[in-house]
Amino acid sequence: MRNVAIISPFALALAGAVSGCEQQTGDKPAPFKPLYEGVQTWLLDGDLVSFQVKMKGARDNSDVDAYAECAAAQYALIRGYGFARHLRTNTAEEGGTWVGDAVYTISPALPRGLKTIDAEVTVSACDENKIPTV
C-alpha cells in the first residue's frame, strides 16, 4: 500500500505533463476575411428600426451582431439621433452565409436599458475595425 501512495502522485504528475503535449501540425487558423453583403433597413414605427444584414466569413454570430450594430449606429446618426438601444438579433447560417435580423430603437438621448450604444463612438469603432455601416 505504501508504494502505491508514493507511485500514485508521481504517475499523476507524469500523466499531467504528457497530457499537455500537442502535436504541432503547422496549421494556422484562417485569417478573418469577412465579406459584408449588405444591409436592408426598415423603419417599423417612429423610433423602432429593423436591420437585415448578410455576410460571409463570419466566425460566429457575434460578427453578425457587430455588423448590425454598426448599421444601427450609422442609421441613428443619419436620422439626427445620437443613441440606439438593442432589442434583439436573430442570426442564422446556411452554406457559409450568415444572416442577421436585428431590431433597435433610436433616440436623441441615452435610452434606458442595458444594451445601449453611443452612435458616434460605435461608428468610429466600426471604421477602425473595417466593419461597414449603412
Contacts of 62 (CB under 8 A, 6+ apart): none
| pLDDT at residue 72 is higher than 60 | yes
Bridge partners, residue 41, by sequence = 51
| pLDDT at residue 24 is higher than 70 | no
Q: What residue type is assigned to position 81 of the chain?
A: Y
Contacts of 95 (CB under 8 A, 6+ apart): none
pTM assigned to the model: 0.78
Mean pLDDT of 110-115: 90
DSSP sequence for 11-38: HHHHHHHHHT--------PPP---EEEE
- Cα distance between residue 45 and residue 70, in whole Å: 20
Q: Is 132 left (phi over 0), alpha (psi -120 to 50) or beta?
A: beta
Contact 72, 101 (CB under 8 A): no
- Cα distance between residue 43 and residue 54, in whole Å: 18
Question: Domains of the chain, with CATH numbers?
Answer: 35-128 (3.30.1360)
Q: What is the reported pLDDT for 27? A: 73
pLDDT in tens, 31-48: 889 999 999 999 999 999
